[in-house]
Amino acid sequence: MKRIIMMVFRNLFLVPYMWIRLCYHASHVDKYKEEQHYELLKYITHRANKGGNVTIEAYGLENIPKANGFMFFPNHQGLYDVLAILDVCPKPFSVVAKKEIANIQFLKQVFACMKAYMIDRDDIKQSLQVIINVTNEVKKGRNYLIFPEGTRSKNGNELLEFKGGSFKAATKAKCPIIPVALIDSFKPFDTNTTSQVTVQVHFLKPLYYEDYKDMNTKEIAALVRERIQNTIREAGF
């Protein structure tokens, strides 16, 4: 909470302008191109990070495919995760998030601009429809992010089990799967301090359809988890 207050205070003169623009974009989604929404979100996120003493270190940007129509699969540490990736990722993407966070102010507007899907994990029919929708959109060239753990880890950089079902849209779309290792992404919002923090975002080498076509989704989940785990360990965490 202290850091969020500092983010706002250090951007005090910009906050009303940024909030009005964000809300306008969120309520007029079809008026702007995806790139225009993304440019605004990156600007707001960058200003917030700078004001909040948060540094994002990006690794492996060369692993992001040049052609659109791919999916990111990061480990999940908290509400800050999407903002960390958004700050450094050069290509627009959308997200699939749990419905429980759909009405959190700021995130609500961010997700609206990204045309994100909110998934109800207790509604199988709705969940299946989200998978179908994401599959179709990825095939058309949109990029998506899904947290395969399904919920955040409450133990810092430790990983939870990666769920095979999270990869169904990717396998149906036959798209590149990009594992993303987040390190210390829990610190900006979950530590009660305003001191400088550094979050690492590692874009790992993609798994292309030829790499995983003979694997089931549980095997893909285990492989992606292993690669992320190894990256976190190699970084000394």
The CATH number of whichever domain residue 42 belongs to comes to 3.40.1130.10
Instruction: Report which secondary-structure segment, H or E, holds 108.
Output: helix 107-114
Strand partners, 178: 72
Per-residue confidence in pLDDT tens, the chain, 237 aa: 788 888 888 888 899 999 999 999 999 999 999 999 999 999 999 999 999 999 999 999 999 999 999 999 999 999 899 999 999 999 999 999 888 888 888 889 999 999 999 998 888 899 999 999 999 999 999 999 999 998 888 888 999 999 999 999 999 999 999 999 999 999 998 888 888 999 999 999 999 999 999 999 999 999 999 999 999 999 998
Residue 40 structural domain: 2-234
Q: pLDDT tens digits, residue range 76-99?
A: 999 899 999 999 999 999 999 888
Q: Give the per-residue pLDDT at 204.
A: 98
Element (H, E) at 144: strand 144-146
158-175 per-position pLDDT tens digit:
999 999 999 999 999 999
Q: Measured between alpha carbons, how far is 225 from 231 in angstroms, rounded to an integer?
A: 10
- Is 139 in a helix, a strand, or coil? helix
Sheet hosting strand 144-146, strand order edge to edge:
54-59, 197-203, 177-183, 71-74, 144-146, 94-98, 117-119
**Considering its fold, how many domains does the chain have in total?**
1
Contact 228, 170 (CB under 8 A): no
pTM summary value: 0.94
Burial bucket for residue 174 (CB in 10 Å: 0-12, 13-18, 19+):
middle
Angle between helices 34-51 and 81-88 (to 10 degrees): 110
